[in-house]
Every structure is written in structure tokens, then in C-alpha cells.
Structure 1
Amino acid sequence: MNVEPEPPVGTTVAPPGPRPAPPAAEASVGELLTRLSTQTSRLVRDEMQLAQNEIRDSVRHAVKGAGLISAAGVVAFLAAATLVAAAVAGLSEVLPVWAAALIIGAVLLAGAGIAAMLSRREAERATPAVPQTKASVRRDFNELKGATHARHVTR
């Protein structure tokens, strides 16, 4: 039977499993390249997730704006139909009928104007670019550039 000897009292034994990575100064080139690959993959994944979230928010605002502009179009159509009815009523009746239709048409046009203004505001909030992702990638790039520059200066 093969039994490992007990370590001396007061010493610690590393648990079984993967060893923690040595500091960069002691790491081999292979370990450094493995770290670089892992960290780069994680960084790219994180940046892609951030871009995806920003685009999702932008699309949500664009869709909301498109829905509001569609509502404005429907309301404007109804207003035009009412104004046409007012013109017809004005030709065939006395003042009160077409005046009432004209007032309703004006109210519908005011509603269309409000919907159009809301739609415009939502459309302006839909940014095509991904500003947070761009800023994050720029910071990452500058940090890598600074680390590379510092490494060349210290040599």
C-alpha cells in the first residue's frame, strides 16, 4: 500500500487541483499567452454583450417612435376625413353642423400634432451608435496601449 508521508507540523499543503497562476514576472511565455487568450476572449465577449444591450435599447426606442408616428398618421387621416365631412356639411347645411365638424377636425389635428411630437422625441432618443461600448473599448485599448508602452520603456 502506497501512503504519502504526512507533511511536517506547521506547513501547509496545496489542495489538489489546478494550481493558481504564478505572478506575471514568474510565468512562462506559454502561461502568459494562455492568460492573454483567456482575458481577450472574456473582454471581447463582455464588449459584445454591452453592444447588444445598447442596440436593444436603441431599437426599442425606434420601434416606440414608429408606433407613435403610425398613430399620428391614423389620427391625421381621421382629422382629414372629418374636415372633408365639415366642408360637405358646410355646403349643405347652415353654420352649426359644419362648425361642429370643423371643431372636431381641429381637435383631431391637435391630437395628431401631439403624437407626432412624441414620436419625434422617441426617434431622437434612438441612437444608432453604441456610445457606452465605444467608450469601454476605447478605455480598454488605451489601457493595453499604456501597458505595452510601459513594458517597452522598462526594458
Structure 2
Amino acid sequence: MSTTQSTVEDRSVGELLSVVTSDVQVLFRQEVELAKAEIREEATKAAKAAGMFGGAGFAGYMVALFLSLAAVFGLANVMDAGWAALIVTAVWAAVAGVLFVMGRARMRRVSPQPERTMETLKEDAQWARHPTR
């Protein structure tokens, strides 16, 4: 009998359980690290989408302010200034609506659930129930 076989056979159940417990702890730590990485990735996507909302809001404000003034003054040469201001306001309301819809579409693509971690945890649980398969 070789020394490797004799050492495996000589190991107690407690030693074997200790090895299995250690392996499970390592696996659990790896799963936690994977979950953290996935959450960081999704948070980055959410931050980018939020930045786009903010940038769109600020840019929309500045453009609306100066372009609206120019448009109102231009239209006031053709019609009453009140009607000119109302037309310009309606145009910028449409622009704001488009920007909102685009930002909302990007925000819907953000997944708060760590998909890969959930899948590997399911696989680990399946293995734990049936380790010989």
C-alpha cells in the first residue's frame, strides 16, 4: 500500500469534515467577492445613467434659456410676443420629454440583482445536495 493511500485511510472523519468545511468557507468567500463585483458593476451603470439625467437637465436648461430668448424675440417680429413665448415653451417641453424617456430606458437596463452570483449559488446548492453527480 502506498503512503498516500494509507494517509487518506488514516484520516479521521473529523479531519475530513474540517477539510470540507474549509473548502466551503473558501467557496463562500469567493461567492461574496463575485457578488460585490457584480454590484459594483451595476452601480457604475446606474451612476452613468444618473449623470446623463443631470447633464441633460443642465444642458437643457441652458439651451432652453438662451435659445428660447432668441426664438421669442424672433417670433415676436411676426406675432404677439405672448404667443411666441408659448410656442417656444411647447418646443422645449417636447425636448425635455424625449430626454426623460431616453434616461428612463437606460435606467431600466440596470439590474440590481447579481445574476452570475445567483446562478453559481444555485449550482453550489445543487452540488451540496448531490455531491456525487
Q: Same fold (TM over 0.5)?
A: yes
3-state SS of 2:107 partner: helix
Do the aligned partners of residues 77 and 22 (structure 1) sit closer, same or farther apart at CA in structure 2, a change above 3 Å counting?
A: farther
Paired amino acid for 1:50: L
User: Contact between 1:62 and 1:123, CA under 8 Å: does it hold in 2?
Assistant: yes
Contact 1:64 1:122 in 2 (8 A): no
Alignment RMSD, CA only? 3.8
Match of 1:62 among 28, 46, 62: 46
Deviation, 1:76, is 2.2
Match of 1:144 in 2: 128
Structure 2 residue matching 1:126: 3-state secondary structure? coil
* TM-score between both structures, scaled by the size of structure 1: 0.61
With the length of structure 2 as denominator, give the TM-score of the two structures.
0.69
Tell me which of 77, 95, 98 is aligned to 1:94.
77
- Residue equivalent to 2:36: 52
Q: Aligned in 2, Cα 1:79/1:21: closer, same or farther, shift over 3 Å?
A: farther
CA distance in 2, matches of 1:123, 1:21: 60
CA distance 1:29–1:60, change in 2 (3 Å)? same
Q: Structure 1 residues 133 and 118 mapped into 2: Cα distance closer, same or farther (>3 Å)?
A: same
Larger Rg: 1
Higher helix share: 2
Deviating above 2 A after TM superposition, structure 1's stretches of 4 or more consecutive aligned residues are 19-23, 112-122
- Helix, strand or coil at the partner of 1:139: helix
Give unpaired runs (5+ residues) of structure 1.
1-11, 151-155
CA contact (8 A) 1:64 1:119 kept: no
CA separation of 1:28 and 1:125: change in aligned 2, threshold 3 A: same
Query: Match of 1:52, as an amino acid?
Result: K
- Check conservation: 1:50, 1:133, Cα contact below 8 A: yes
2: CA distance, partners of 1:63 / 1:113? 21
Are residues 1:80 and 2:42 paired? no
Going from structure 1 to structure 2, the CA distance change for 1:136 and 1:20 (only over 3 Å counts) comes to: farther
What residue number does 1:40 align with? 24
1:78–1:22 distance in 2 versus 1, CA, 3 Å:
farther
Deviation at 1:137, TM superposition (A): 0.4
